[in-house]
């Protein structure tokens, strides 16, 4: 829940859209956790894991102005 978009924190419906995995992620050896469909762009860290959500969103609703970075990528090797 630490990476739920600020405008949705504390919303009673969050459990329908997000799963609390903070302790699991913090205690893991996962380098990067990539997710989407939150309608908000997030780049944070839990433990040693980088949490990244970089999505364009709905252009019609101007969500694309919320921090989408077309040059942001993660190289997997």
47 located within any domain: yes
pTM of the model: 0.73
Structure tokens belonging to residue 3 = 């990476």
Encode pLDDT of 4-34 as tens digits. Answer: 888 888 888 888 878 889 999 999 999 988 8
pLDDT in tens, 45-60: 999 999 888 888 788 8
Total domains, the chain? 1
Q: Specify if 71 maps to a domain.
A: no
The parent domain of residue 44 ranges over 6-65
Three-class DSSP category at 24? helix
The C-alpha R_g of the chain, in whole angstroms, comes to 13
Q: Is the residue at 75 inside a domain?
A: no
Q: Residue 13: inside a domain, yes or no?
A: yes
């Amino acid at each position: 829940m630490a990476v739920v978009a600020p405008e949705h924190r504390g919303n009673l419906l969050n459990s329908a859209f997000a799963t609390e995995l903070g302790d699991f992620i913090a205690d893991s050896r996962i380098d990067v956790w990539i997710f989407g469909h939150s309608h908000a762009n997030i780049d944070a860290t839990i433990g040693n894991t980088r949490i990244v959500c970089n999505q364009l969103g709905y252009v019609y609703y101007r969500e694309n102005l919320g921090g989408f970075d077309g040059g942001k990528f993660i190289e997997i090797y």
